[in-house]
Amino acid sequence: MKKYLILLFMVISVILIIIASGYTRIDNINYVKGASIENTSAVKLINCSGKVVYADTSECTAQGSGIVQYVFVREGDHVNAGDVIMITAETKADIDAAGIYSAALSENGDITEILKKSLDEDVSITSYTAEISGVIHNISATVNGIYTKGSSLFGISRDSNSFEIATDVPESVIGTVEIGQSVDIDVRALPNMLKGNVKEIESTARQTGSAFDKETTVRVIISVDNNYPELKSGYTADCRIKAEEKENVLLVPFSSVETDAEGETYVYIVNGNKCEKHSVACGEEYSGGIEIIGGLNSGDVVVYDISSIDQTKENVAGEVRAFEQ
């Protein structure tokens, strides 16, 4: 009997050792999330921010660069066509705001004389008037405020009950924007996303940004599908223009792609219990990820988050999950 008890004890001990070693081995495996990639349709989004404005609006842009001397209206005032809205000291030359600001600080005295002397340009007193009758909104110019050629000074709306979005799109991507494209609109003051479409693309570009950090943009007007009583003129809206759709695109998650010190772009493919480094060639960036134009095939499984890999180890188990755009 004693012999059987000893034998049973030994068998149990061996089983426990095997189980313990198995858990130890499992603990030593680094599990990663995989993404199974397939050819799919992709949408290229253009992200831009703008302001909610009244629909059917006439916007006044600066014809030169200068300093505002008088403003005769306030936000929400009703004006008639031909009314004088503001008077400025302006030069038609394309001088940046930094130069005007330096001129204004150079000495005390009449601002017109300062501009003439410091900038060596012909400065004239310029009146900006209302082109249409309506309600004043989005006055960006203030007394003694500096403005540059092409900047927005104020807007006038015929209709104070419907709204649209005025946004500036960088010149680098404006070529992909077309009238009628759908837009997702996130008005920061409202809880729900709105829908809209590209309504108008201005024919000329403008300089936007601060005096010391300017970029060339094109004004785009986005209509809002429905009238929302919660909207107010001046609200900030973040817009995503669906500018380009492409079929049969091989997409991988943004987190799957990395570039090494030599400039080589790569991903890790899950192959059995190994993660293998593969060089890839990338194309465009879309809302669902990065287009791969070389180095991968449909059906490959890539590591979803490349930062989760311990690159010093060769054997890594991968947990495969479908990549959803």
In whole angstroms, give the CA distance from residue 214 to residue 96: 9
Token duo for residue 22: 């198995």
Mean predicted lDDT score pLDDT of the chain: 78
Beta pairing, strands 78-79 & 213-224: unpaired
Q: Please give the CATH number for the structural domain made up of 28-42+247-322.
A: 2.40.420.20
Straight-line distance from the first to the last Cα atom of the chain, in angstroms, rounded to the nearest whole number: 67
CA distance 218 to 203: 8
What is 57-158's CATH number? 2.40.50.100
Q: Reduced to 3 states, what is the DSSP secondary structure of residue 293?
A: strand
pTM of the model: 0.56
Residue ranges per structural domain of the chain: 28-42+247-322, 57-158
Cα(115)–Cα(103) distance, rounded to whole angstroms? Answer: 6
Q: Is 90 exceeded by the pLDDT of residue 91?
A: no
Q: What token pair was written down for 322?
A: 């479908």
pLDDT of res. 63: 87
- Cβ neighbors of 102 (< 8 A, separation 6 or more) are 118
Q: Which residue has the higher pLDDT, 101 or 35?
A: 35
Cα gap 210→148, rounded to integer Å:
10
Residue 11: pLDDT over 60: no
Structure tokens at 64: 């030169």
Residues 6 or more apart from 39 whose CB is under 8 A from it? Answer: 248, 249, 250, 298
Return the sign of the alpha-carbon dihedral for residues 87, 93, 97, 100: negative
Do the two domains 28-42+247-322 and 57-158 of this chain adopt the same fold?
A: no
**Element (DSSP H or E) covering residue 97:** helix 97-106
More confident residue, 319 or 245: 245
> pLDDT exceeding 70 applies to what percent of the chain?
74
| 77: three-class secondary structure by DSSP | coil
